[in-house]
Amino acid sequence: MDTLIPFTTSGSLVDCVDRKMLVVLRDGRKLHGVLRSYDQFANLVLEDTVERIYHGNAFAENWHGLFLIRGENVVLLGEIDLDQEDEIPLQQVDYALLEQYTKKDAEIKKRREEIKAQVLFEEKGFCKEGGEGDGY
């Protein structure tokens, strides 16, 4: 049984606990926080969570706190290299300033996806359902 431990969710996430992690959710949100717990479904507990939004070469943060994330909404869990984080060529700005731009970005992306789905359905013979709403 010991040989199987690297091939489990627990085996691959155990060394990420108590580290600063990035979580990308299926709706496209990016959360930064300290991973405190997880299980086999990739349900995650994130402490001191901040949501980050990006636009151009700027980013902004919005503080949330303690999050329990249901696994089905998780796309990716990334370990943040703290040295590399200081060298990111992006500028932090006020959240309120950037929010409108990212909202517009999301709007454009959503509209493009709708058009794509429409074309696939009408001209290419794909089914209408896009699946589980993978808007990320």
Partner 1 sequence: MLIFSVFKTLTDQQVTVELKNDLSITGVLKSVDQFLNIRLDNIKVLDEARHPHMMAVKNCFIRGSVVRYVQLPAEHVDTQLLEDATRREALTQVKR
Give contact residues for partner 1 (rule: CB under 8 A): 6-9, 11-13, 16, 22, 24, 26, 28, 30, 42, 52, 54, 57, 59, 71-72, 74-81, 84-85, 88, 90, 131, 134, 136
Which of residues 42 and 121 has its CB atom nearest to partner 1 in the complex? 42
- Using the structure block, give the residue that is written with the tokens 């990420």: 16
Which of residues 70 and 100 has its CB atom nearest to partner 1 in the complex? 70
As a whole number of angstroms, the longest Cα–Cα distance in the chain is: 53
Q: How many whole angstroms separate alpha carbon 78 and alpha carbon 93?
A: 23
Q: How far is the CB of 112 from partner 1 (least distance, A)?
A: 12
Torsion 56-63-33-68 (CA) sign: negative
Q: How far is the CB of 62 from partner 1 (least distance, A)?
A: 14
Which of residues 66 and 76 has its CB atom nearest to partner 1 in the complex? 76
Identity (one letter) of the amino acid at 79?
Answer: E
Q: How far is the CB of 30 from partner 1 (least distance, A)?
A: 5
Identity (one letter) of the amino acid at 82?
Answer: L
Which of residues 8 and 62 has its CB atom nearest to partner 1 in the complex? 8
Can you read off the two tokens belonging to residue 26? 């299926």
Tally the residues of the chain: 136
